[in-house]
Amino acid sequence: MFKAIVFDLDGTLAETAGDLIGALNFVLAREGIEDVPVAAARSLLGAGGRALIQRGFARAGRPLEKDKLDALFVDFLEFYNAHIADHSFLFPGVVAALDRFAADGWRLGVCTNKMEASSHLLLGKLGVAERFAFVCGQDTFGVAKPDPKPLLETIREMGAKPERALMVGDSVTDIKTARAAGVPVIAVDFGYTDVPVTELGPDVVISHFDALYAATQGLLASAR
């Protein structure tokens, strides 16, 4: 049986666009760049804070040198961590789904391109930090998704094996990560992607966390 389940965070477990775009706009405003609307988040999020800043500058047609990016990222992260749950919330059904998997003996983990400290902070603010055996951020293993290492190392740290694990995500980044790791992947269709996840080749697509447990059982039946 699959007994380890690893979740992406932004756009999968939680709606975080408001606070991420708020932090982006904080640094953009200081550079004289017009605010990015939250409605644009789905084409900007998913690769971490540095990539978000780069995409914000690119959207405005502004160049951005590495040294400048590094300095802006420090300011972004400070602002973001101070406002990390002003507008963020768990998607409907998340808590009930986590409870069901835990009751059935599954180990739960998080593998995200958010920084590890920010991930722990957000999960704590949302009241679910203690539910996860391990939380991996972009900086935990020195490499970010879609490299498979963060996912494989997360599974190992959870005390599980890839052949008994699966991933839940919302974007092409998560799907590529899972495929590279040889792990089945379930995609939610309400996350941060500018291409419908149905076109990205996950094993299963769900529209609500109420459907997640049944989806894992369907994958188990297919594997058998």
Q: What is the CATH number of the domain that holds 103?
A: 3.40.50.1000
2 against 142, higher pLDDT: 142
8 tagged catalytic: yes
Contact between 178 and 167 under an 8 Å Cβ cutoff? The reply is yes
Last residue of a domain, one of 61, 82, 103: 82
Please tell me whether residues 203 and 161 are part of one structural domain: yes
Please tell me whether residues 93 and 162 are part of one structural domain: yes
Question: Please, which pLDDT band fits residue 1 given cuts at 50, 70 and 90?
Answer: low
Please tell me whether residues 104 and 52 are part of one structural domain: no
Considering its fold, how many domains does the chain have in total? 2
Please tell me whether residues 10 and 24 are part of one structural domain: no
Handedness of CA 143, 15, 122, 216 (dihedral sign): negative
Bridge partner residues of 187 (DSSP): 169, 205
Please tell me whether residues 58 and 99 are part of one structural domain: no
pLDDT at position 220 is 74
pLDDT at position 48 is 77
Least-confidence region, from 47-51, 62-66, 178-182, 198-202: 47-51
- Tens-place pLDDT, residues 87-118: 999 999 999 999 999 999 999 999 999 999 99
pLDDT at position 137 is 96
Contact between 191 and 78 under an 8 Å Cβ cutoff? The reply is no
- Tens-place pLDDT, residues 113-146: 999 999 999 999 999 999 999 999 999 999 999 9
Please tell me whether residues 57 and 121 are part of one structural domain: no
Please tell me whether residues 8 and 58 are part of one structural domain: no
Least-confidence region, from 5-14, 52-61, 135-144: 52-61
Please tell me whether residues 106 and 173 are part of one structural domain: yes
Q: Is the pLDDT of residue 224 over 60?
A: no
Contact between 207 and 168 under an 8 Å Cβ cutoff? The reply is no
Max Cα separation, the chain? 57
Q: Give the β-pairing of 134-136 and 107-111.
A: parallel
Share of the chain above pLDDT 90, in %: 79
Question: Please, which pLDDT band fits residue 223 given cuts at 50, 70 and 90?
Answer: low
Please tell me whether residues 67 and 57 are part of one structural domain: yes
Please tell me whether residues 72 and 138 are part of one structural domain: no
Last residue of a domain, one of 52, 82, 112: 82
- Tens-place pLDDT, residues 33-52: 999 888 887 778 777 788 89
Averaged pLDDT of the chain: 93
Please tell me whether residues 29 and 66 are part of one structural domain: yes
pTM of the model: 0.92
Could you list the residue range(s) of the whole structural domain that residue 29 is in? 17-82
Last residue of a domain, one of 82, 103, 135: 82
Please tell me whether residues 172 and 139 are part of one structural domain: yes
Q: Give the β-pairing of 89-90 and 107-111.
A: unpaired
Least-confidence region, from 10-14, 45-49, 62-66, 75-79: 45-49
Give the mean model confidence (pLDDT) for residues 174-180: 97
Q: What is the CATH number of the domain that holds 29?
A: 1.10.150
Q: Could you tell me the strand order of the sheet in which 204-206 lies?
A: 134-136, 107-111, 4-7, 165-169, 185-188, 204-206
